[in-house]
Amino acid sequence: MTPLLGRRHFLHGSLGAGLALTLPGRALAATTPAAAASTTPYERRVLEAAHTQAARVGDAVWRKDIVGMADFALPSWKPRLHFANLENGTVRSFLLAHGRGSDPEHSGWLQSFSNEPGSLATSRGAFLTCEWYKGKYGTSIRLVGLDDDNSAALERLIVVHPAWYADAAMLDKYGKLGRSEGCFAMGDADFKQALWHLSGGRLLYADRIGED
């Protein structure tokens, strides 16, 4: 996947709380021994992948303190959107729905990625998180695709948004989350965390990482 740079012009929008996107990214701090000792092998793998992707996209993102890592090797009943904090070496994980076109049988497992308009599928690759806006599901985070595999994200209206079908209550009832139309859908409470800690010029990366 080849990163598509030079899209910063899209970011000059309101962030809803007076937070400007002109802030330079802070230098990445090394993982502290205490943080390293408390992370699991899987979380260390997530952190390593986050460092790799942050370095790959370079200045295409403005803020590199936290990287969102969506691991679609995991099923929807497991927390698979990880906030990888590259400054303190910690990982926070949340439930995340995938697109209907990526899981036609609604198995709870993502079967395939697609960048095609109308596919209703999840795309893989690096996304730049942009401004907040009000959409079909309320406040949402606009995304710009930085790779060939997700270059149509703006055209397809692929965003991060809250949705009832991505709430943990769905697991109690159905054992899996519902499906989006290709967007990164989260439960309302979890989305509020994304709104404050993942938006504003940060990197969201989607692919298969896996626990093994």
Give the mean pLDDT per block of 10 residues along the chain (212 residues): 44 33 33 65 97 98 97 98 98 98 98 98 98 93 98 98 98 98 98 96 97 77
Read off the pTM.
Answer: 0.85
Closest CA to 95 of 19, 178, 17: 178
Would you give the distance in Å from CA 4 to the centre of its chain? 17
Do you know the residue count of the chain?
Answer: 212
Cβ count within 10 A of residue 16: 14
Classified as helix, coil or strand, 176 is: coil
pLDDT at 37: 63
Q: What is the pLDDT of residue 36?
A: 59
So what's the pLDDT on residue 25?
33
Q: How far apart are CA 149 and CA 133, in angstroms?
A: 24
What lies within 8 Å, CB to CB, of 34 at 6+ separation is none
pLDDT of residue 6: 41
pLDDT score of 211: 84
pLDDT the model gives residue 38 = 84
Q: Which helix (H) or strand (E) holds 35?
A: helix 33-38
Do 184 and 116 contact (CB within 8 A), yes or no?
no
Residue written as token pair 């606009």: 142
Quote the pLDDT of residue 30: 42
Minimal CA–CA distance to 66: which of 209, 193, 207, 182? 193
Q: pLDDT at position 1, please?
A: 56
